[in-house]
């Protein structure tokens, strides 16, 4: 009987750690559950203690391996990692989901000014909020722009202090706008920045579309243009789909800066969910991440992510 109890208690954590470690792509609803891996990791000592109390040493050992697997996967997010020694110009990038256009325009513009943001990726951008942002000074601070505001959650855009050119405005598979722009930064190669916003994998139909939207994002070959992806990915670093994207030439800025556990959603009292890190700035591996700041945006259920980057020299 003790064996059965110990195995039943340990099995969920052992299976979860195995799936996370081996990188299995899961269907709905399990793909959504993977986002809560840090919470599973925090509670993973429970089956070890239970097995020890029941004197089931083998089960305790297996459960201990699961604890170690979680630690190996998650601890580096709080530590950061070695950075390339880029010596080119600085670029400050911000991404913010504006919650169906309900974010406080004056407050978010104040954040952009305080952090000297050069390029801003906006998601859930609505026409009414564009007008409010312009009244709050967006046209002056960010004279160049590629915007595709829409009435629901699918509008996005890019604002820039420096001149930019449109690279691509094709929507992703869910129809969400994901404009990509190119801008020139003196002393650095051309920089491409794409606003990212796949719909979340919250039902059996959306999950494969979300996966396809992530797979369709451009890779970075580490040569030529510097590629940056910034937005609400509706994915955490525990999703194999996002890790596969990182493997195509990117570094997660928050992870590199030791801020990988800083949650970005939800940040409204009426939104009941455990905090997750689903907003990201992914940068070309040639880019040095000097600093990452996560800031609450009044009126939005997402926090803004701001990365101070050092680009490679031309």
- In the chain (314 residues long), the average pLDDT of successive 10-residue segments reads 89 96 94 96 96 94 97 92 88 98 98 98 98 98 97 96 94 94 96 97 95 97 94 98 98 97 86 90 97 97 97 94
Range 11-40 burial, b when 16+ CB lie within 10 A, else e: eebbebbebbeeeeebebeebbebbebbeb
CA dihedral 176, 253, 226, 95 (to 10 degrees): 40
pLDDT given for residue 270 in this prediction: 67
pLDDT given for residue 304 in this prediction: 98
**CA–CA dist 280, 196 (Å, integer):** 9
pLDDT given for residue 80 in this prediction: 81
**CA–CA dist 83, 290 (Å, integer):** 9
pLDDT given for residue 100 in this prediction: 96
CA distances from 256 to 38, 121, 166, 172, 262 (A): 18, 20, 29, 27, 12
Q: How is the chain split into domains, by residue range? A: 2-74, 90-310
pLDDT given for residue 269 in this prediction: 66
**CA–CA dist 51, 55 (Å, integer):** 6
Helix and strand totals (H; E) in the chain: 12, 12
The predicted model scores a pTM of 0.96
pLDDT given for residue 294 in this prediction: 98
pLDDT given for residue 85 in this prediction: 87
pLDDT given for residue 271 in this prediction: 67
pLDDT given for residue 173 in this prediction: 87
Strand order from edge to edge, sheet including 303-310: 144-148, 156-160, 119-123, 90-97, 303-310, 288-296
283 contacts 163 by C-beta, under 8 angstroms: no
Domain 90-310 is found in CATH 3.40.640.10: no
pLDDT given for residue 267 in this prediction: 80
């Amino acid at each position: 009987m003790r064996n059965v109890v110990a195995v039943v208690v340990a099995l969920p954590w052992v299976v979860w750690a195995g799936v996370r470690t081996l990188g299995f792509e899961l269907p709905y609803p399990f793909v959504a559950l993977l986002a809560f891996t840090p919470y599973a990791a925090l509670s993973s000592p429970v089956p070890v203690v239970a097995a020890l109390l029941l004197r089931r040493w083998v089960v305790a050992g297996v459960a201990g391996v699961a604890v170690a697997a979680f630690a190996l996967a998650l601890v580096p997010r709080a530590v950061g990692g070695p950075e390339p020694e880029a010596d080119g110009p600085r670029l400050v990038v911000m991404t913010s989901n504006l919650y169906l256009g309900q974010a406080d325009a004056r407050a978010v513009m104040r954040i952009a000014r305080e952090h000297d943001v050069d390029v801003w990726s906006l998601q859930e951008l609505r026409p009414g909020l564009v007008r409010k942002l312009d009244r709050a000074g967006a046209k002056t601070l960010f004279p160049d722009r590629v915007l595709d505001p829409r009435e629901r959650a699918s509008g996005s855009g890019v604002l820039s202090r420096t001149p930019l050119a449109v690279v691509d405005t094709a929507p992703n598979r869910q129809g969400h706008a994901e404009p990509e722009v190119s801008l020139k930064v003196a002393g650095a190669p051309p920089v491409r920045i794409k606003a990212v916003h796949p719909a979340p994998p919250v039902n059996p139909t959306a999950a494969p579309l979300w996966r396809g939207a992530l797979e369709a994002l451009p890779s970075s070959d580490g040569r030529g243009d510097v590629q940056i992806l910034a937005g609400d990915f509706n994915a955490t670093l525990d999703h194999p789909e996002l890790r596969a994207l990182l493997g195509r030439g990117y570094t997660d800025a928050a992870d590199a800066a030791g801020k990988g556990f800083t949650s970005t959603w939800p940040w409204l009292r009426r939104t009941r969910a455990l905090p997750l890190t689903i907003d990201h700035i992914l940068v070309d591996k040639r880019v040095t991440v000097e600093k990452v700041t996560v800031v609450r945006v009044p009126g939005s259920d997402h926090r803004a992510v701001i990365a101070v980057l050092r680009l490679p020299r031309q």
